[in-house]
Amino acid sequence: MNDAGRLAGRNALVTGSVGGLGQAMARKLASAGANVMLHGLEDPEEAACLGEAIERDYGVRAVYCRADLRQASAVRDLVDHTERTLGPIHILINNAVVRHFARIEDFPIDKWTEALAVNVTAAFLATQMVLPKMREAQYGRVFNMTSVYGYRGTVNRVDYVTTKTAIQGLTRATALETAGSPITCHALMPGSVLTPLWSDRLERMMIEEGLTRPEAETRFLDGKQPSGRFVDVDSVAEVLLLLCGPAGTDMNGAILPIEGGWMAR
What are the residue numbers of the active site?
160
- The vertex-240 CA angle with 121 and 261, nearest 5°, equals 95
SS3 letters across 8-62: CCCEEEECCCCCHHHHHHHHHHHHCCCEEEEEECCCHHHHHHHHHHHHHHHCCCE
Q: Are 145 and 92 in contact (CB under 8 A)?
A: no
- Structural element, H or E, at residue 145: strand 140-145
Q: Are 120 and 75 in contact (CB under 8 A)?
A: no
